[in-house]
Amino acid sequence: MLEKLDEIEKKALELLAMVEDEASLEAWRIANIGRSSAVMNVFSQMGGLSKEERPLVGQKANQVKTALEKAFAERVETIKTAALAKSLANEKLDITLPGRPVRRGGLHPATIVLRRMLGILAEMGFQVYTSRDVETDEMNFQALNFPPHHPAREMQDSLYIDAGERGDNPVLLRTHTSPGQIRAMREFSAENPENPPSIRIALPGMCYRYEQITARSEVQFYQIEGLAVGENITYGDLKGTLADFARRMFGLNAKVRFRASYFPFTEPSAEMDVECFVCGGKGCPVCKNSGWLEILGSGMVHPVVLQNGGYDPRRFTGFAFGMGPQRQTMLLHRMNDIRYFWGNDVRFLNQF
């Protein structure tokens, strides 16, 4: 049996040396190291050997099998190398053909609409002002006319960072971009406290809420705050500004309406709706058959907020508004689930 294994190995290697192409190589593999090959048949015959012969034959059979597999792998590389060399020597490469295009990434849909909204506000004279994501309770609530234990605080679902370490002024992730109003007014009024300059700014940023994630709510979302402060600013200025924004954003024929609302930092307060551009105001599932789509909240800056910002409410007035780029993206593209924005699904992102 040992002599037979030596003969099997010698014959198989001689045949392998004559193989020149991949088809013949595959035929050799099946015949010499496949399941029905001679060396594999030796393993099936070991049951008829004596106890003394069995370990010797088994060891030799494994050695032959390993040697043939190694020789086969080397022959595969040799044939591939020879085929490549032949191809390079005999075939022509057309170097004038264009290369494969490099696929570029794109902007996130929320970023696209955010930039569009900021571009419109910039055309209307608003200057971008950025504020911090981590705020104190004083800036996020108290200076905006949210006294401690005010019922409106329950609407914010705050994410506190050190609620028990700073007493009445804990640190939290901002629940809205409105704290930027106070910081901006204090920064501008500090330059000239007796005669502070007028303000017209847009404050973009991320907001955070501790609430359940659903198709219409997320724990984080973008918001753009608008603020205008100066002498003789009226509610008519607010309505004209927002109506003009809606026409620039949704088309010249966009119709808007204002509904009375309540925000602690504005008085009077209102929410603004735009006529549903899907159904033209007739009523559809997108607008819940009302014919209108809510896009922002607004109001005249509360005198207490003006005073906390360093502006005399007897001399200055102002208006503020807050709108969500993601909500307007959902309306523009008829999206029904806010979770798409942070799902990182390439099929969704590629559409933009």
Span 66-87, pLDDT tens digits: 888 898 899 889 888 888 888 8
Mean pLDDT estimate for the chain:
87
User: Which of 18-32, 161-175, 233-247, 290-304 shows the lowest per-residue confidence on average (mean pLDDT)?
Assistant: 161-175
Predicted TM-score (pTM) above 0.85:
no
**Nearest residue to 43 (alpha-carbon basis) of 32, 28, 54:** 54
Q: Where are the alpha helices (DSSP H) in 136-222?
A: 137-140, 179-191
Rounded Cα–Cα distance for residues 68 and 40 (Å): 12
Name beta bridge partners: 273: 257, 294
CA neighbours within 13 Å on the CB side: how many for 74?
Answer: 9
Span 87-109, pLDDT tens digits: 878 877 777 878 888 888 888 88
268 vs 39: which has the higher pLDDT = 268
Rounded Cα–Cα distance for residues 352 and 349 (Å): 6
